Amino acid sequence: MLRRSFLKLMSAVSAVAVTAVTAPDPVRAQSKPGTLRVAMTAADIPLTTGQPSQGAEGIRFLGITLYDGLTRWDLSKSDQAAKIVPALAESWTVDEADRKVWTFKLRKGVKFHDGSEFNADAVVFNFEKLMKKDAPQFDQAQSNQGASYYASIAGWKKIDDYTVEITTKRIDAVLPYNLASLFMSSPARWAELGKDWGKFAEKPSGTGPWMLESFKPRERAEMVRNPAHWDKSRITKSERLILLPMPDANTRVAALLSGQVDWVEAPPPDAVPRLKSQKMQIVTNVYPHIWPYQISYLDDSPFKDVRVRKAANLAIDRAGLVSMLGGLAAPAKGMIDDKHPWFGKPTFEIKYDPEQAKKLLKEAGYSVDKPAKVKVIISPAGSGQMQPLPMNEFIKENFRDVGIDMEFEVLDWEALRTRRRMGAWAPENQGRHGVNNSWAYWDPDIGLIATAASFAKVPAGYNWGGFNDAKADELATRAKETFDPTEQAKVLGELHARIVDEAMWIWMVHDLNPRALRPNVKGFVQAQSWFQDLTPVVVE
Amino acid sequence: MFVYVLRRIVYTVPIALGVSIVCFALIHLAPGDPLSAVIPEGASPEAIAQIRAAYGFDQPLPVQYVKWLGHVLTGDFGTSIMTRRPVLSEVAPAIVNTLTLATAAILFGFVLGCLLGVAAGYLAGKPADRVVTAVSITGVSIPHYWLGMVLIVIFAVNLNLLPATGMGEGGSGSFGLGWDSLQYLVLPALTLSVIPAGIIARSVRGTIAEVRKQEFMQTLYAKGLPARRVFLHVVKNALPAVLAVMGLQLAQLLGGSILVETVFSWPGTGFLLNNAIFTRDLPMLQGTILVLAMFFVLINLLVDILQTAVDPRIKRA
């Protein structure tokens, strides 16, 4: 009898469970016209106060959406590299007598989201917010995030309500690039909220095309259209933008397929066929990204010998690597994509040529039986790191085939970045001959000048391995002092050609920046940039 | 009973203190610099020293511990390095979210585990017992991450019956008791409940089978008690052991599952810890782990007291 009762109870529970999961009302959230829901790779909502955290993704979603800089990236074209154009500054000039002094003419009639006016006082307020430690509005968190962009600024002053003068520490033609990532927060809103950046974070006010309506840490940020944006061509097509942090790639894909989001960042390569079969749009484009080994030039490093460096570059089957990545990458021919204006005309062609690699290694005293032994620091994941573990294993096999025996030290992403900031000569990096840290070349400094110049060894710049080449130094200095963009691009092309000819790093592939969009998402132009403009995007 | 409860409460003080020391020390023993994420690229040694001093990381570890404990005792768990928000204001909602998920998971697990365990206990040695044992071992062994993804693919992507991620259209702020919200709970709770269900099933099965072999059972049957009344006696004897297992499982679930919460983008303590680990957000890690450890201690205390209430023999032991 007890057994019968028990079976009845089991049946009842099962029936309830089945009813619950087969409820007739479809539960999934569907696209809402005018509302764009984006799944980010970040695990948290980046800082909302002006200088976003979370690197380029932070700027992409919480920087250029809510705020503007004095300059901005033109993200309206997919067939050419993004360029710097005027934004809150209408124009700028450099003093010919002292080329460290810049004058910026500000745009008139621009209002913050709170209705207050943008003017020279607001620029001074924001520079002090980042760089003047004793200013009441100084914010360490924003200062940390903006540090690499304001590093060359020595001083600033208001000339009149719509004119600001900025002085750089040395002659620096790259300044307008950096100003695109220094964002203007509203002084009036900060004062209204008791001069508290914590409260400002919940009710921020910028001049950008979107206004933050609400946000909940680690869950969501909701923005609405700013109908009064100063650039009428950039009034947002969508009424609402919802940002959702989803660090797990498979979760993002599931959310897209089940209709919970309209747009996902970085879908994993193996999910692409499934997404395509469901009619999702997979958008890709080259952008200033390179997946390299930054290498050591210390005495114990086999890479000190240019023949070994060239051999390593020739040993990699990039087509195979791209195939392994589902086609979501492009083979590299140097630091810069070969269609970019800074590519130049290198004489050393980076390609897959294992026989030539073996020959060069033999000249350097190495062979498959007597391989060059190298140790490289890698991470299991990280921003821009693509699929680091299988990619590194793939390259290890390629290297083994020609006579380079590579060993890995696997570190957490932040730990790897710390070791990269220390330089190859730091005691912690002793015996390490390379670091696999994905790199950007969105501006001349980070991309070429401060990675190649011997005067930019870390911590002064990004030269991790101690590359030291007089010609590269001369070109880097010239690029820094060339103000005409066309001329500067030529010098940068020469610099790039030089570092390729010297095989300064080992360059593998450029990421193609994949995104997956639901079929009803229209208007997106994928710029060749780490940043993207969401203003023309609309969910139909 | 009162003295026993008081004694147990007093015992928790040194345990809590020990937990706080271990939690503080373990995090500091981990490799890497907690400030690496906030020190700007190319910062001068002076600037780095300033930032280090601002977070108190320039002090010797014992001094840091005493200061930290002093602040914790006054409810100040510090400020997150990454978000600049007070740790407690981050941890509190995450714990509520995890508690919601853990309660649903433990209820699923308890009901399923008890049903399976009782069935197997009563049918010990028969094919049904072996099937239940196999099912419960599978439940314990199955990787959460994989199961979560499979459930998402089946119920969210293919059948389109349940949502794949999150806590609802409006996030955790608008989570309520209606189906609009609860549907978001089903898949993560089911995923999380599989291990407790397996463990509870095995524990209940063993206890029931053991109790049923005891002599007093024959007496009960001999006295002519109906099967339902005998079952109540069996349950009463099995309950303390089951309660202990359930308490431990609930406490573990409260710690949040980093994998399940990440897979389902459930904004609980697991998700919070995962984020804090990857960004080496030391104050956040310390605060979250301490709060969770205290929950663990508290739940063990409650289970001990409950067990004693159900079975006074435990107090004497």
Rounded to a whole number of angstroms, the distance from the CA of B157 to the nearest CA of chain A is 5
Residue A404 has pLDDT above 60, yes or no: yes
pLDDT in tens, A350-372: 999 999 999 999 999 999 999 99
* Angle in degrees, 0-180, between the axes of helices A306-314 and A388-402, rounded to the nearest 10: 120
Give the closest-approach CA distance of A364 to chain B in angstroms: 35
- Band of residue B80 on the pLDDT scale cut at 50, 70, 90: confident
Look at B165 and A260 and tell me if their CB atoms are within 8 Å: yes
- The partner residue sitting opposite B161, judged by closest CB among A5, A21, A461, is A21
Beta carbons of B278 and A413 less than 8 Å apart: yes
Closest by Cβ to B265, choosing from A141, A251, A421? A251
Per-residue DSSP letter, A144? H
The confidence score (pLDDT) of residue A316 equals: 98
Which residue matches tokens 């969770």?
A: B292
Which amino acid does the sequence have at B314?
I
CATH superfamily of B88-310: MetI-like (1.10.3720.10)
- Predicted local distance difference test score (pLDDT) of residue B225: 85
Tell me the Ramachandran region of residue A164: left when phi exceeds 0, alpha when psi lies from -120 to 50, beta otherwise: beta
Flag if B42 and A143 touch (Cβ within 8 Å).
no
The CA-atom distances, in angstroms, between B232 and each of A399, A490, B212 are 70, 88, 12
pLDDT digits (tens, 9 = 90+) for B146-197: 899 999 989 998 888 999 888 988 888 888 888 888 999 999 999 999 988 8
Position B36 scores a pLDDT of 62
What's the confidence (pLDDT) of residue A1? 42
pLDDT of A26-53, one tens digit each?
444 566 789 999 999 887 888 899 999 8
Confidence of residue B31 (pLDDT cuts 50, 70, 90): low
- Check pLDDT > 80 for residue B12: yes
Residue A82: helix, strand or coil by DSSP?
Answer: coil
Confidence of residue A13 (pLDDT cuts 50, 70, 90): very low
Q: What are the pLDDT digits (tens) for B199-216? A: 888 888 888 888 888 888
pLDDT of A309-335, one tens digit each? 999 999 999 999 999 998 999 999 999
Which DSSP string do the residues of A210-234 spell out, in sequence order? EEEEEEETTTEEEEEE-TT-S-GGG
> Which residue type, as a one-letter code, is found at position A265?
E
SS (H, E, C) A315-355: CCCHHHHHHHCCCCEEECCCCCCCCCCCCCCCCCCCCCCHH
- How close are the terminal C-alpha atoms of chain B, in Å? 13
Average pLDDT value for residue range A142-168: 92
Residues of B in contact with A260 (CB under 8 A): 163-166
Compute the mean pLDDT over every residue in chain B, rounded to the nearest whole number.
82
Enumerate the residues of chain A whose CB falls inside 8 A of the CB of residue B186.
20-21
- Range(s) for CATH 1.10.3720.10 in chain B? 88-310
CA distance B72 to B78: 8
Q: Quick check: A189 and A91 in contact, CB under 8 A?
A: no
Q: CA B279 to CA A399: how far, in whole Å?
A: 33
CA B309 to chain centre: 23
Higher pLDDT, B254 or B116: B116
User: A64: distance to nearest CA of chain B, Å?
Assistant: 19
Cβ pair B271:A43 closer than 8 A: yes
The pLDDT tens digits for B56-78 are 777 888 888 888 888 888 888 88
pLDDT at A25 over 50: no
Asked if the ipTM is above 0.90, the reply is no
**Pair A529, A441: CB distance under 8 Å:** no
Contact (Cβ atoms closer than 8 angstroms) between residue B230 and residue B217: yes
**Helix or strand or coil: residue A146?**
helix
Cβ B85–A217 below 8 Å, yes or no?
Answer: yes
Strand partners, A222: A214, A242
The DSSP symbol for A301 reads: -
Q: Tens of pLDDT along A69-112?
A: 999 999 999 998 899 999 999 999 999 999 999 999 999 999 99
Dump strand ranges (E) for A136-250. 153-160, 163-168, 210-216, 220-225, 240-245
Beta bridge partners of A507: A292
CB contact under 8 A, B162 and A2: no
Return the pLDDT at B43: 63
Model confidence at B255: pLDDT above 50: yes
Mean pLDDT of chain A: 91
CB spacing of A9 vs B115 below 8 angstroms: yes
Kindly report which listed range (A257-261, A467-471, A535-539, B209-213) carries the lowest average pLDDT score: B209-213
Of A512, A529, A81, which Cα lies nearest the Cα of A331?
A512
Which is it for the CA torsion A394, A396, A397, A398, positive or negative?
positive
Angle at A197 between CA A211 and CA A116, to 5 degrees: 50
